[in-house]
Amino acid sequence: MTGPFRPQERKNARIAGVLVMVAYLLLLTGCATAPQLTPATRDALPDRVRLDDVPFHGQRDYQCGPASLAMVLNAGGRDVGVDALIPQVFLPGREGSVQPEMLATVRRQGMIPFRLPGAFGALLEELAAGHPVVVMQNLALPAWPLWHYAVAIGYDLPDESLILHTGMTPGRAVDFARFDATWARSDRWAFVALPPGELPASLDADAATRAIADFEAARGSRAALPAWQALAERHPTAAMVQFALGNAHHSTGDRPGAMAAYRAATAADPELAPAWLNLGLLASREGDLQMARRALARAAALPGPWQARAREEQAALDQETDG
């Protein structure tokens, strides 16, 4: 006959349950396969990278978010400590930090967070470019997540290991397969934090444009201008990048710079009506009436909400000329 279930037995049952869960997780990660790199990516990467200048901050209970931010912000030249970051990102009710607050805090510190595409090759490319990467992992199961932020600071391709500042351990080597299994459970969420003017290695023009636009909305055009200039230099035929650069130049009072960027935007995409409108408005103010008429005519001919404004400006310009 089974006796009564005593408190000690209850405690042992809980411990047994935890051990079963840990064993199950080890089984899952142990069966994972290493992520595959394309031959082109593999050939372009050095065999080993380690960013020894990234400082380490131990991640106390539920403080992995602020600690990870402090590491990448310090690496980027920002003098800010973990304790100063805790109230900016830590949500007591969630016992952790959520992704939007992590990104917003990077912007408040004057750096740009660039979300990476969810590809293992992109993560390694950023490390090879000298950029530490904040990664989000789920160290448990999808149904019972245990979210964790760490900072990738290097890798070893022959050994198939990633080097992480994580928990209370600096420079911990984790094999690719085990890391990727935990990273995949966060939809491979990761970002680099870079000063304006420095760009990630792995992002296309559209993704970088979104990141810089979000930074500009938070910190203003003057702060974002070096980022737009760098992106336009990398992607000179990207019309929206040139258009955004023109707006930033105009907002900071650089009319010649704005004119040049709007011209580049319309050359790259003759159907980009807002760029034609802004070019026409600015040319009119600068006294270049021939360019103003041509640009306003193009804007007025393209369907969209800018047509009315373009036609109003055309009429005003004709009145001034007739007068």
Domain count, the chain: 2
Average pLDDT (20-42) is 65
Closest to 239 (Cα-Cα) out of 212, 216, 272, 203: 272
Average pLDDT (79-83) is 95
Alpha-carbon gap, residue 17 to 28, rounded angstroms = 17
Please check the confidence at residue 298 and state whether its pLDDT lies above 50. yes
Residue with tokens 């049952």: 13
DSSP SS3 for 16: helix
Residue with tokens 């459970």: 185
Q: What per-residue confidence (pLDDT) applies to 18?
A: 37
Please check the confidence at residue 13 and state whether its pLDDT lies above 70. no
Task: State whether 172 and 219 are in the same domain.
Answer: no
Task: State whether 108 and 177 are in the same domain.
Answer: yes
> Could you tell me if 17 and 24 are in contact, meaning their C-beta atoms sit under 8 angstroms apart?
no
**H or E segment to which residue 192 belongs:** strand 190-194
- Round the average pLDDT of the chain to a whole number and report it: 89
Task: State whether 116 and 240 are in the same domain.
Answer: no
Alpha-carbon gap, residue 81 to 118, rounded angstroms = 29
Q: What per-residue confidence (pLDDT) applies to 33?
A: 80
Alpha-carbon gap, residue 104 to 116, rounded angstroms = 16
Task: State whether 83 and 103 are in the same domain.
Answer: yes
DSSP SS3 for 148: strand
DSSP SS3 for 270: coil
Average pLDDT (153-180) is 98
Q: Which structural domain range is residue 173 located in?
A: 37-194
Please check the confidence at residue 31 and state whether its pLDDT lies above 60. no
Given 194, 215, 247, which residue is the final one in a domain? 194
Q: What per-residue confidence (pLDDT) applies to 142?
A: 85
Please check the confidence at residue 299 and state whether its pLDDT lies above 90. yes
Alpha-carbon gap, residue 44 to 147, rounded angstroms = 32
Selected residue with higher pLDDT from 91 and 268: 268
Q: What per-residue confidence (pLDDT) applies to 323?
A: 54
Please check the confidence at residue 23 and state whether its pLDDT lies above 70. no
Q: What per-residue confidence (pLDDT) applies to 95?
A: 57
How do beta strands 133-138 and 147-156 pair?
Answer: antiparallel
As separate numbers, helices (DSSP H) first and strands (DSSP E) second, the chain gives 14, 9
Task: State whether 74 and 181 are in the same domain.
Answer: yes
Task: State whether 212 and 185 are in the same domain.
Answer: no
Task: State whether 49 and 165 are in the same domain.
Answer: yes
Instruction: Tell me the CATH number at 64.
Output: 3.90.70.10
Task: State whether 65 and 211 are in the same domain.
Answer: no
Average pLDDT (124-138) is 98
Selected residue with higher pLDDT from 170 and 31: 170
Q: What percent of the chain has pLDDT over 70?
A: 87
Backbone φ and ψ of 237, nearest 5°: -105, 10
Please check the confidence at residue 22 and state whether its pLDDT lies above 80. no
Sign of the dihedral through C-alpha 78, 232, 304, 254 = positive
Selected residue with higher pLDDT from 14 and 251: 251
Radius of gyration of the chain (CA): 26
Selected residue with higher pLDDT from 323 and 91: 91
**H or E segment to which residue 43 belongs:** helix 39-44
> Could you tell me if 136 and 31 are in contact, meaning their C-beta atoms sit under 8 angstroms apart?
no
21: left (phi over 0), alpha (psi -120 to 50) or beta: alpha
Please check the confidence at residue 4 and state whether its pLDDT lies above 60. no
Least confident piece of the model among 34-43, 88-97, 134-143, 187-196: 88-97
pLDDT, tens digit, for every residue of 49-60? Answer: 999 999 999 998
**With a threshold of 0.85, does the pTM exceed it?**
yes
Average pLDDT (126-142) is 96
| Residue 115 bridge partners (DSSP) | 191
> Could you tell me if 52 and 130 are in contact, meaning their C-beta atoms sit under 8 angstroms apart?
no
Q: What per-residue confidence (pLDDT) applies to 69?
A: 98
Instruction: Retrieve residue 220's tokens.
Output: 């203003």
**H or E segment to which residue 196 belongs:** none
Backbone φ and ψ of 168, nearest 5°: -105, 20
Q: What percent of the chain has pLDDT over 90?
A: 80
pLDDT, tens digit, for every residue of 265-297? Answer: 999 999 999 999 999 999 999 999 999 999 999
Given 171, 194, 217, which residue is the final one in a domain? 194
